[in-house]
Amino acid sequence: MAATRTSRVGLFVELRKRLKTGMLIIGKDLVNDPTEVSVAGGDGSLDISTAHGLLSLALPAGVSLEPGSCVQTAACDEELHFRMRINVDQSTDDEGIGSPIERLQTKDSYCFHCQGCRTRLLDDRVFQRVLPLPNGNWNAIVDDWCCHPDPFANLKLLPRAQDCLLGDTFFLLTRDASCQDTLVEEVTRVGTDASQDPKKSCRRLVSISCQSCSAVLGEALAPDSLKFYITQVVVDLSVGGSQVEAAVSRSLFLEQSVAARMLELSNTLSVFHFAIQTPDEKPFLLIWLLNTDSVMVSVAEASVRQVDGSVSPGPEEADGECLSSQARPALKLLWIVCSDEGFAQREIVGSWETNAIGHPLILPLTVCEELLQAMEDTNALLPSVLRHMRSYQVSYLRL
């Protein structure tokens, strides 16, 4: 279920950079007459005037309104809808800074921090090799590659010293002496319960937590090998690092990490369906990536009523009653919770599982739950007409 909110959405804008179009939705309680609404584009801003005043929304660099293009297209019981055209500077790239998996380079020195408490976990790591691991369920089709029995059976792909192996959602690194002071290990059992399926046994999982804040960071795959999930750590250059990720809220960091990784995988593998899974490979959330070129902003009705020229909530307010008055690049997603009891949802989940549609992305259970909460929160901050598409729910994850 979507998170409940005490305030309604007052204004919503989505711009599509590839299509060079835009959509504006305003709550009817804010506008008595559509002629009261006027939209103009300044330098890097979208200025929306209503009876309550002028609301100035900051646009990404290179995106601007085409003058005189905003026209009303529809009206319903709760909202007024407008369409507009935009101009986009094709040389501008504002799709975010990407995930650390794409940014890691050999020869550079990196530090790994706990995202929750900013504790430094690993110091001055210089990698001689940064190599991608086979992605997805590669071992399920290994028989199609080999004319003899699976040579990888019962073998793990582990890093050597000064290696960094990159999975879809994690790093594999070697352990050093400093880990004794920063990391805590805990042995748990994951997998199918024997009473449910006697052919499947539980496996031993050694989880790694931050010693300072107890946040789960990943797993110990072997005595000398560590797995860190990209949603749990901040990776920065030892010298000259920006620490941008460490400064943002947990919810925004999680959104950006997952969104950036899905965008990278979509661009490189041409995949648009993702199955968020727990470490026991149990599907938790199914995501269908619709738009990768969206720029969006949502402002609560209360903020629009109080406007006195502009609204400029800080980053900490972006997780509250409005996403932000700063229009941000975002991914538009359709999603379904695998545990949903609805008949139509169960049919979709069954179809995805039977046909292996979703590219698997494995995250700790607590992170899966955090991601679901973030999806529910952004869904609740959309106009009512945009919250659902057939049996799916709709969300935007910020880049």
Identify residue 169 by its one-letter amino acid code. T
Which residues make Cβ contacts (< 8 Å) with residue 380, sequence separation at least 6? 2, 3, 4, 5, 387
Q: What is the C-alpha separation between 8 and 77, in angstroms, rounded?
A: 14
What does the pLDDT read at residue 300?
Answer: 81
What does the pLDDT read at residue 262?
Answer: 95
pTM of the predicted protein model:
0.85
Q: What is the C-alpha separation between 39 and 30, in angstroms, rounded?
A: 15
What does the pLDDT read at residue 170?
Answer: 94
Q: How many other β-carbons are positioned within 10 Å of the β-carbon of residue 309?
A: 10
Identify residue 237 by its one-letter amino acid code. L
CA 254 to chain centre: 6
What does the pLDDT read at residue 55?
Answer: 83
What does the pLDDT read at residue 191?
Answer: 60
Q: What is the C-alpha separation between 94 and 399, in angstroms, rounded?
A: 9
Token digits of residue 128 = 């001689």
Q: What is the C-alpha separation between 193 and 202, in angstroms, rounded?
A: 7
HEC string of the chain equals CCCCCCCCEEEEEEEECCCCEEEEEEEHHHCCCHHHCEEEEECCEEEEEECCEEEEEECCCCEEECCCCCEEEEECCCEEEEEEEEEECCCCCCCCCCCHHHHCCCCCEEEEEECCCCCEEEEEEECCEEEECCCCCHHHHHHHCCCCCCCCCCCCCCCCCCEEEECCCEEEEECCCCHHHHEEEEEEEECCCCCCCCCCCCEEEEEEEECCCCCEEEEEEECCEEEEECCCEEEEECCCCCCHHHHCCHHHHHHHHHHHHHHHHHHHHCCCEEEEECCCCCEEEEEEEEEEEEEEEEEEHHHHHCCCCCCCCCHHHHHCCCCEEEEEEEEEEEEEECCCCCHHHHHHHHHHHHCCCCEEEECCHHHHHHHHHHHHHHHHCCCHHHCEECCEEEEEEEC
What does the pLDDT read at residue 301?
Answer: 76
Phi and psi, residue 168, nearest 5°: -70, -35
Do residues 344 and 337 touch, judged by C-beta distance below 8 A?
Answer: no
**Tens digit of pLDDT at every position of the chain (399 positions):** 333 444 577 889 999 999 999 999 988 877 777 788 889 887 788 888 887 778 888 898 889 999 989 998 877 777 889 999 999 987 665 555 678 898 899 989 999 999 988 889 988 899 999 999 886 556 666 666 677 776 666 667 889 989 999 999 999 999 888 888 889 988 877 665 544 555 555 677 889 999 999 999 999 988 889 999 999 999 988 876 555 454 678 999 999 999 999 999 999 989 999 999 998 889 999 999 999 999 999 888 777 776 554 444 444 344 433 334 788 899 999 999 999 888 888 899 889 988 888 999 999 999 999 999 999 999 988 988 899 998 999 999 998
Phi and psi, residue 208, nearest 5°: -115, 130
